[in-house]
Amino acid sequence: MESWIDYQQATKYLKRRNGQLSCDIESSEYVWLFTTSGIFSDGEQIWVLNDTETAEKGVRRLENPKKELQSHLVAGETFLTWQIKEDGKFIYGYYPGLQRILSNYNSVRHFPSVYALLEVIDFTGNYEDIRRAKKALQWGIAHLTLNHQHKKAIVICGRERKQGTDEIKLGAQAMPILALCKYQEVTKDASF
């Protein structure tokens, strides 16, 4: 199998991410290829991540899925609610090696995250998390939509970097609708 490295693109990416490079990667005499395996830990338990070359690579292996499902859903719900800041905006993730929070933000992440939270709340019956889900919906409506022609809301995906224009995609329009409908279904609150 023949492979190559696009040094120009790699250098451009590393400079953008880290600033200046500490060495000239193109002048390296050797390239080391290796495979990795991963684990996931909540600080108390360690789960092995699937390392097969399939679509399940990086997914936690469950020993007894039926038995573990409830606890994993509760843990996921807890984690997701912790990621909602007081204003309703999510913290999506971290660059652990760089000690930075992911800065890209868009409606295609925001509204599906709220929807997922509402689905799990419906399953677990943990209704005290509704307040945070509502905050997230309110934040999304206030910051990720545009009013257009007679106050119809259009969901924006994010800012187009080069032109500074709002990016609007058809798929992004469905997720707020699903999240709002799920909120109303779970809470019986028709305020949206």
The total number of structural domains in the chain stands at 2
* Domain of 48, in residue numbers: 1-62
Same domain, 89 and 47: no
Residues 137, 98 within the same domain: yes
pLDDT per residue as tens digits for the range 90-123 = 998 877 777 778 877 778 889 999 999 999 999 9
pLDDT digits (tens, 9 = 90+) for 37-61: 888 887 888 888 888 878 888 787 7
Please state the pTM of the whole predicted model.
Answer: 0.71
Is 76 inside any structural domain? no
Residue 69 lies in a domain: no
Q: Give me Rg for the CA atoms of the chain.
A: 21
Task: Indicate whether 92 and 154 sit together in one domain.
Answer: yes
For residue 78, tell me if it sits in a domain: no
b/e per residue, 147-156, with b = 16+ CB within 10 A? Answer: eeeeeeeebb
At residue 170, the pLDDT reads 73
Q: Is residue 32 part of a domain?
A: yes
Residue 34: what pLDDT? 80
